[in-house]
Structure 1
Amino acid sequence: MTLEETFEKIDAVMEKLSDDSLPLEESFAVYKEGMELLDGCRKIIDDVEKKVTKLAEENDT
């Protein structure tokens, strides 16, 4: 999944969580899904950061 796709899913999670009629148990499940998506974003961003750092180091040599 791309970072953009993940952001779209996070937006959908936020919309669901803003619905006051969402049952509590379902809210917890949606919240957990959102946290897992955020963790995936962090991993993608960390990977990109490592690649950029590596490219910068290669250009310095």
Structure 2
Amino acid sequence: MKTFELLKGLVLGAEEDARKFFEKGNQAAGVRLRLAMQKAKGLAQGVRVEVSEKKKKK
């Protein structure tokens, strides 16, 4: 659950950069957003692994 909370916080934290990029065309915000999404991809994979491990234990 910890990894899920980290993922959620990362996505919510990137919301401002997403708005700046998509609504105002701020290129630096786009770079930050892409970095955050790459981190989110890794965290999402971590959540998948945790879920699979927990299912195997039952």
TM range (shorter): 0.7 to 0.9
Structure richer in helix, relative to its length: 2
1:58 aligns with 2:43: no
How many residues were matched structurally? 53
TM-score (norm. length: structure 1): 0.70
* Structure whose alpha-carbon radius of gyration is higher: 1
Which residue pairs with 1:37 in the alignment?
36
SS at match of 2:24: coil
- Aligned CA RMSD, in angstroms, stands at 1.8
Amino acid paired to 1:39? Q
Gapped regions of structure 1 (runs ≥ 5): 21-26
Aligned pairs (5 A) from 1:1-61: 2-17=6-21, 18-19=23-24, 27-59=26-58
Match for residue 24 of structure 1? none
Structure 2 length-normalised TM: 0.72
Displaced runs of 4 or more, over 6 A:
none
Identity among equivalent pairs (%): 9
